[in-house]
Structures are given as structure tokens and as C-alpha cells.
Chains A and B, each alone.
Chain A
Amino acid sequence: MSAPKALGDWMPVHVSWEAGECMVEWIDFAETRMTEPFFDQTVARLLENPCRNLRRFQTGMDELCERFAPQAESKPGGLIFHISRCGSTLVAGMLRALRRHVVLSEPAPLEQLLRLRRQVKAIPEETWQKWLRGLLMVMGRRRGDEEDCWFVKCDALHTLDAGFITRTFPGVPWVFLDRDISEVISAHTNSPGRAMVPGAILPGREFLYSPPDTPPGEHIARVLEAIRAASRALPMEAGMFVDYHELPEAGWRKVVAHFGLKLRAGDEVLVREAAARNAKNPDIAWKNDPPAKAG
């Protein structure tokens, strides 16, 4: 299958390792703004269109870096790490409320590349960095006249890879959204994330494995402590910590300022409107949960 010569409207949506090579799958992203809370939801929406679904092709990651990444020019305006269940999707939604911003929200290709890095040995660190830089630059590139800045919101577990990610984008400001661990445990106990179930297999993160009969709270606490410890180990030059209970105001004050963004007339209204909705389900109003503690 031939690949187009120009980057055009193509978007990487899947990264895999095939026959000793890092491969990227692309789909037609024309006339598409990432409006859903998560990148993969946008892709799922596009794949409902049979034309877009059929128009998929693969290239090597090296081809992405050598042919396509030079057609995208910028680095991200900010990176978002978090403890989970702490308002990170809300902050991403506030940034996305301004049409000049693109937010890559927990995109599967990022998880897939980070997982490969943990699993595939004998690839030099600089190659992984080149691949990560190329992949995200292509994904976040300016695709419309009004776009001028892009951000990456990582999965909570990517905090364990945050050293690698921040080294790949030196000087790029990052925030870590934090929350009282007992509140996060409580939130996961009610509705556990995929890594928070005892017995869950996390490829390349076997040290977080707990037998299935482990009390859920114990397992969740161990995962969260590992995430928090990783956040505390990051060099702070470009970093900032934000607590859940500072939201939503911290979103348009602290985070915006830390990322060096200038709000224009009318922006704050849009950001406040986004902050008023439940980020994962914008049909529902957002509320800052009371500090319920895990028992």
C-alpha cells in the first residue's frame, strides 16, 4: 500500500511493532477538530464514516519522523500529568474550549509507543525520543488557520514515563494534577480505572501487579503512590503542581499562566463555560466532589 507524499489531513491513530519495525497507522482527519474528551473517541466517531474507515494506511515510524514530522514544526505548549480522578480532563476541556488550542487527550498512539519502549529492548533511548517527538508533533500540528498551540494530556500511568516525556520535550511546561490519595481511592473504588483492578496485567509495569484477591483499596493505593512518587521525582524547572480542590479557577489562572498563554477578550467566558460542564460527559454540569475519604 502506497502512502501519500504530503502530511495533508492524515493523522496517526495506532502504533504497533511488526516484523521488527515500529509501524504507524493513519486515517483521514480532514475537517475534524478534536472536540471529544478523549482522542480515541474522536477516532471512533470518524471511523463511523465508511470512507474514512477505508482510507487507512500504514507507514514505518521512521518514515513518519523523516518525511512527515518536518512538515509539522512546533513543540507542545504544555504537558498534563495527573494522579487520576483529579480534574485533568476538566483542565484539558478548558484548554480545548479555545479553538486555537488542540488537546491530544490520552491518545492511544502515545500509550502504544510508551508500552513498546518498555517492551522492545535494544532500541537506543534517542531513537525512542525521536519517535515520540515526531509522533506527537505530527499529531498536534497546526491543521487549521486558527490553531496556534497544542497540548498533551497523558494517562495517569504515563506519569511513570514522565521523565522520558519531559526529556523529549525539554523546557516545555508541565503540570501535575494531584488530589488527596484517599479521595482518589474512593473514586476508583466506586468505578475503577483499568489499572486499578487487582489482577490487572499492565505490560511492562509488572511491579504494579497485585494478585486478584488483593483488597482493591490496597492495590489502588500502591498504584497511586507509584504515580505520585514519579511526579515528585521530576525536575521542577518547568513543572507545577495543582490540587483538585483549586479547580476550576486554577485552570484559567495557574495553568494558563504556567503554560505562558495569553487569554484574549472573551476567552475567559468560554473557558468558564467549559469548566461548568462535566468534562467526561459534557451533558452534565461539573461539580467539585466533596472530600469523601476512603474508609
Chain B
Amino acid sequence: MSAAFEEFRERLILDDGHRALLRESGARGGFFEEGPALAKEWGLEVTKEELEEAHRAGKRLWMERFL
């Protein structure tokens, strides 16, 4: 993953202001569109594809722990 993505992820964890918004956006399926837009506001270039890949990898990691 890119440095911009890692910074975006860190800001997502520490930024209480945006997390409820993005959580809600994730719940209704809009996260992959709205995430890159927020990243851009923060001056970071994060793509929809990066977010989708990170989501897949995160789920895979979780599942593998139970195998």
C-alpha cells in the first residue's frame, strides 16, 4: 500500500470527526467512493482500488486466523 494510503488510514483512526460519517458511508456501501474524496481533502491521493484491496486483505487476514 502507498504511503498516502497508510497516512489516510492513520488519520481515519485518529480523526473522530470523520469516522462516524465514513462508518455510516461504509454501512450503506458508499465508502469506496467517499473515502478517496475525503483523502483528497486531506491532501492525499488514495484510490478506490486501494481501499477495495485493503478491505479484501483485512477480511482475508481475519478469516485466516480461524483456519
Contacts and interface: CB of A to CB of B under 8 A. Distances in A.
Interface residues of A, number: 24
A54 B23 contact: no
B65 A51 contact: no
A50 B51 contact: yes
B31 to A, nearest CB: 5
B13 interface: yes
Contacts of A51: 12, 19, 22-23, 25-26, 31, 35
B9 A54 contact: yes
- Interface residue range, chain B: 20 to 34
A15 to B, nearest CB: 11
Contacts of B31: 49-51
A99 interface: no
A54 B27 contact: no
Contact of B14 (A2, A31, A53): A2
Contacts, number: 65
Q: Give the secondary structure class of A's interface.
A: mixed
**Which of B16, B31, B55, B62 counts the most A-chain CB atoms under 10 A from its CB?**
B62
B10 A52 contact: no
Given A3-B13, A40-B66, A50-B51, 13 more contacts: A1-B6, A2-B14, A8-B16, A28-B19, A30-B20, A47-B59, A49-B23, A51-B19, A51-B26, A51-B31, A52-B26, A57-B13, A108-B66
8 contacts: A49-B26, A50-B31, A51-B26, A52-B23, A53-B59, A54-B58, A56-B58, A57-B13
* 7 cross-chain pairs, A with B, having the tightest CB-CB distances, nearest first: A51-B26, A49-B26, A50-B55, A53-B58, A51-B22, A50-B31, A51-B23
